[in-house]
């Protein structure tokens, strides 16, 4: 659907060069909601702007819907671009035009018939929940409503791909959630593939099935969201994941921990929530150990529950070792915590 192959992008200024992207390769499959996350300056905007050639790579290949965009003629490129809608952080609406006219712009540009334009815009207004705002002007709308107009405009020409450049970064958390739900609905009901860049892990958690993490122009980690969230390998990914999956003991608790002989403090990570009770019961039943929960956290990712739990286990050394072994055999990740 979208494929970037060995992309490099260098911005040349008078006295300096900025290597914004270094050897980026990624694949977005049909139906994906693919998130790209990174800190400011990582190269996310440059990356997403390459997908519809708002930015041209210094080298590498951009393939969308099977077309290698850099080898198309201008006319072919215009046709290919109709398949790619884009939503912006600051909406980019025309203030002097009504909501209806803003959404109609791409249809007017492609010379659709008046009746068809009216039908499509009304349909889109309905879809994004702004049926009563047809005649309003952007200045009369909230940020969330403006973004709904931006989304409707991006969908006007029936694209197969929607690019979202920090689409929720200018919105409060509640509005962010409602816009993310709208993007999910677009993906599911219109079967549109979405690529979204963000610096907020909550965006990835809420709607994405795949994620790429960027740092200094490179992709440092990518994969299925559940995989990356449950086992992040790069320190930067870990620091992003930490913002939503709280694994560490709170500092106030850490200070009070003391390891006494005959006890172990271990952190457990596993998928699913129903497991919790059964393995604690099994520990007590099968081994001469006493478990106590010190800290627990559950996060929903892709309709899966990722659970982390810190427990203390008290008992004879041999029993503690056997208990830990048993937990590992159940597919639980076990890590000893130092005080
Ligand atoms: N038109 C440009 N000319 C020169 N340098 C640029 C240009 N656009 C981006 N850059 C540089 O490329 C690097 C990546 O910028 P980019 O905007 O893609 O990062 P980002 O991850 O989107 O950051 P942010 O979240 O702050 O927008 C930065 O060092 C930036 O200064």
Q: Is the pLDDT of residue 223 over 90?
A: yes
Ligand 1 centroid to Cα of residue 1, in Å, is 25
Which of 190, 218, 242 marks a domain boundary? 242
Average pLDDT over residues 82-90: 93
Residue nearest to atom 6 of ligand 1 (CA): 11
Nearest to 213 by CA among 183, 236, 188: 236
Ligand 1 centroid to Cα of residue 57, in Å, is 13
Ligand 1 centroid to Cα of residue 42, in Å, is 7
163-176 tens-digit pLDDT: 999 989 888 999 99
Those residues whose C-beta lies under 8 Å from the C-beta of residue 44, and which sit 6 or more positions away, are 36, 37, 38, 166, 197, 198, 199, 214
Share of the chain above pLDDT 90, in %: 65
- Looking from the CA of residue 55, the nearest atom of ligand 1 is 1
Those residues whose C-beta lies under 8 Å from the C-beta of residue 250, and which sit 6 or more positions away, are 295
Residue nearest to atom 1 of ligand 1 (CA): 11
Ligand 1 centroid to Cα of residue 6, in Å, is 19
Token pair 């041209």 in the structure block, residue: 56
Average pLDDT over residues 110-132: 94
| Residues 260 and 217 both lie in one domain | no
- Looking from the CA of residue 214, the nearest atom of ligand 1 is 21
Residues 62 and 26 sit within 8 Å (Cβ to Cβ): no
Residue nearest to atom 4 of ligand 1 (CA): 11
- Looking from the CA of residue 49, the nearest atom of ligand 1 is 18
- Looking from the CA of residue 9, the nearest atom of ligand 1 is 12
- Long-range CB contact pairs, 78-82, < 8 A, 24+: 81/52, 81/53, 82/110, 82/157, 82/159
- Under DSSP, the state recorded for 200 is -
Average pLDDT over residues 75-80: 91
Specify the pLDDT at position 339: 59
| Residues 260 and 146 both lie in one domain | no
| Residues 238 and 262 both lie in one domain | no
Residues 182 and 167 sit within 8 Å (Cβ to Cβ): no
Average pLDDT over residues 89-103: 94
Predicted confidence band of residue 305 (pLDDT cuts 50, 70, 90): confident
| Residues 154 and 303 both lie in one domain | no
Which of 112-121, 217-226, 237-246 is predicted least confidently? 237-246
Q: What is the Cα–Cα distance from 52 to 33, expressed in whole angstroms?
A: 17
| Residues 310 and 162 both lie in one domain | no
| Residue 114 neighbours by CB distance under 10 Å | 10
Ligand 1 centroid to Cα of residue 47, in Å, is 9
Residue nearest to atom 17 of ligand 1 (CA): 45
Q: Residues with Cβ within 6 A of ligand 1?
A: 11, 18, 20, 38, 40-46, 199
Domain CATH code at residue 91:
3.40.50.300
Ligand 1 centroid to Cα of residue 43, in Å, is 6
Token pair 């962010």 in the structure block, residue: 176
| Residues 193 and 278 both lie in one domain | no
Higher pLDDT, 186 or 15: 186
Domain CATH code at residue 319:
3.30.70.260
Residue nearest to atom 28 of ligand 1 (CA): 41
Q: What are phi and psi of 225, to 5 degrees?
A: -60, -40
Ligand 1 centroid to Cα of residue 8, in Å, is 13
Which of 38-52, 98-112, 155-169, 276-290 is predicted least confidently? 276-290
| Residues 231 and 277 both lie in one domain | no
How many domains does one find in the chain? 2
| Residues 27 and 107 both lie in one domain | yes
| Residues 264 and 320 both lie in one domain | yes
| Residues 110 and 198 both lie in one domain | yes
Residue nearest to atom 13 of ligand 1 (CA): 20
Which of 242, 276, 303 marks a domain boundary? 242
Nearest to 168 by CA among 183, 153, 154: 183
Average pLDDT over residues 174-199: 95
Specify the pLDDT at position 232: 86
Specify the pLDDT at position 120: 96
Ligand 1 centroid to Cα of residue 36, in Å, is 14
| Residues 236 and 154 both lie in one domain | yes
Which residues form the domain of 75? 2-242
Which of 242, 271, 288 marks a domain boundary? 242
- Looking from the CA of residue 166, the nearest atom of ligand 1 is 25
Ligand 1 centroid to Cα of residue 26, in Å, is 19
Q: What are phi and psi of 133, to 5 degrees?
A: -110, 15
288-303 tens-digit pLDDT: 999 988 888 888 887 7
| Residues 169 and 38 both lie in one domain | yes
């Amino acid at each position: 659907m979208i494929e970037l192959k060995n992309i490099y992008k260098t911005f040349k200024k008078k006295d300096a060069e900025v290597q914004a992207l270094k050897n980026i390769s990624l694949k977005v499959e049909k139906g994906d909601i693919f998130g790209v996350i990174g800190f400011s300056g990582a190269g996310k905007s440059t990356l997403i702007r390459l997908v519809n050639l708002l930015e041209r790579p210094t080298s590498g290949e951009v393939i969308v819907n099977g077309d290698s965009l850099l080898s198309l003629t201008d006319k072919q490129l215009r046709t290919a671009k109709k398949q790619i809608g884009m939503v912006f952080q600051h909406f980019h609406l025309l203030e002097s035009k009504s909501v209806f006219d803003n959404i109609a712009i791409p249809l007017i540009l492609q010379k659709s018939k008046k009746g068809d334009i009216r039908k499509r815009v009304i349909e889109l207004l309905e879809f994004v929940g702004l049926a009563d705002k047809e005649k309003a002007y952007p200045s009369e709308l909230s940020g969330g409503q403006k973004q709904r107009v931006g989304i409707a405009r991006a969908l006007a020409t029936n694209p197969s791909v929607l690019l979202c450049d920090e689409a929720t970064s200018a919105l409060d958390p509640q509005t962010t959630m409602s816009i993310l739900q709208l993007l999910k609905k677009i993906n599911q009901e219109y079967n549109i593939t979405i690529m979204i860049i963000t610096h907020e892990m909550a965006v990835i958690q809420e709607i994405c099935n795949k994620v790429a993490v960027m740092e200094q122009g490179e992709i440092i980690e990518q994969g299925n969201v559940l995989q990356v969230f449950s086992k992040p390998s790069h320190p930067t990914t870990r620091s992003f994941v930490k913002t939503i999956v709280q694994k560490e003991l709170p500092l106030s608790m850490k200070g009070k921990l003391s390891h006494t002989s005959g006890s172990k403090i271990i952190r457990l990570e596993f998928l699913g929530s129903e497991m919790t009770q059964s393995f604690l019961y099994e520990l007590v039943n099968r081994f001469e150990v006493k478990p106590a929960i010190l800290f627990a956290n559950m996060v929903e990712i892709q309709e899966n529950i990722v659970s982390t739990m810190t427990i203390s286990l008290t008992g004879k050394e041999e029993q503690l070792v056997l208990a830990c072994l048993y937990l590992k055999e159940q597919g639980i990740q076990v890590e000893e915590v130092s005080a």
